[in-house]
Amino acid sequence: MRLHVLQHVPFEDAAEIGTWAQERGHSISHTLLYAGEALPALDAFDMLVVMGGPMNIYEHESYPWLVAEKAFIRESVLAGKYYLGVCLGGQLLADALGGSVTRNAEREIGWHPVTLTEAGRECNLLKKWPDRFTAFHWHGDTFAIPPKAKHLLVSEACVNQAFVYEGRAVGLQFHLEYSQKSIRDMLVHCADELTPGKYVQTPEKIEVGLGQTKQTHA
């Protein structure tokens, strides 16, 4: 399979998703949106992987490439492409499919458990996933589940953690792709977001949780 990654900032790349793909013989190409690179042709990939970033999906004036990216995501999904969106990438998918993206009641940063919904337990894509596991989060916004999509995962801080559309397009709010390097990069580049909150962990607690990497990726 040919994966194409849309990357919004240098420090949020495909990380372990890239490792997983390479180990299975899938090819990977990239568009670095922050560097002004052009979006690919639809026939150049089979699956679109859209990463996270510190920007919000409605910040068009600060990040003008968001306008073209949103249109491209919608075009790709409606053309039948596979899709995996992580955090911002999940929000962009929700927006493309008619779901709203708004501020979450609480900022959610650090290691917090997520739980499968009934639809999540029935989803073929998640058959090997445990009912409950600890995931890494870093977000202040949340998406509504789009029309015709199935709600897959919840957390205490954010009810809409994942959805699937037509069995092939998945939006995640948490960071499935994380590696030790990617988390430490976020701690450096997004440190100003670590203001005290009910679901905001300290850098020290996040570092302690890095030992869970193998558990979540297993």
- For the segment 14-40, what is each residue's pLDDT rounded down to a tens digit? 999 999 999 999 999 999 999 999 999
CA distances from 107 to 154, 172, 188 (A): 15, 16, 18
Least confident of 134-138, 146-150, 214-218: 214-218
Beta-carbon contacts of residue 184 (< 8 Å; ≥ 6 apart): none
pTM here? 0.94
3-state helix, strand, coil in the chain (%, to 5): 35, 30, 35
Beta-carbon contacts of residue 59 (< 8 Å; ≥ 6 apart): 66
Least confident of 45-59, 94-108, 203-217: 203-217
Domains of the chain: 2-217 (3.40.50.880)
Report pLDDT digits (tens) over 65-80: 999 999 999 999 999 9
pLDDT at position 209, please?
Answer: 92
Over residues 98-122, mean pLDDT: 98
Over residues 52-70, mean pLDDT: 96
pLDDT at position 211, please?
Answer: 75
